[in-house]
Amino acid sequence: MKARIPKHREFLISFPENVEQAKADEGWTKLNQIVEDYKKSHNGQSVYSPTFIEDCEPAVKALQEEYGFEYTVDFV
């Protein structure tokens, strides 16, 4: 069986080693909540939606300031 995943942009997020694991876990939970909230507010659309990055980047940047992770946007 073959599946073709459409090319899309996605956030690549990494927490530096100096961030405590508990804080990183909390950050990941909040990042995942951004995705779930996006699905709910956009009729079930997913991270493959063309405007996902633009719609979610302000919230990701706010969490970045709080949790100290680094992110880039990559086309895959």
Q: What is the pLDDT of residues 14-73, one digit of tens each?
A: 999 999 999 999 999 999 999 999 999 988 888 888 899 999 999 999 999 999 999 999
Q: Are 12 and 72 a contacting pair, CB within 8 Å?
A: yes
pTM for the model? 0.85
Establish if 1 belongs to a structural domain.
no
Let me know if residue 30 belongs to a domain: yes
pLDDT at 76: 82
For the chain, the domain total comes to 1
The domain in which residue 44 lies consists of: 9-75
C-alpha triplet 74, 47, 19: angle, nearest 5° = 65
For residue 8, pLDDT over 90 is answered with no
Residue with tokens 């951004």: 34
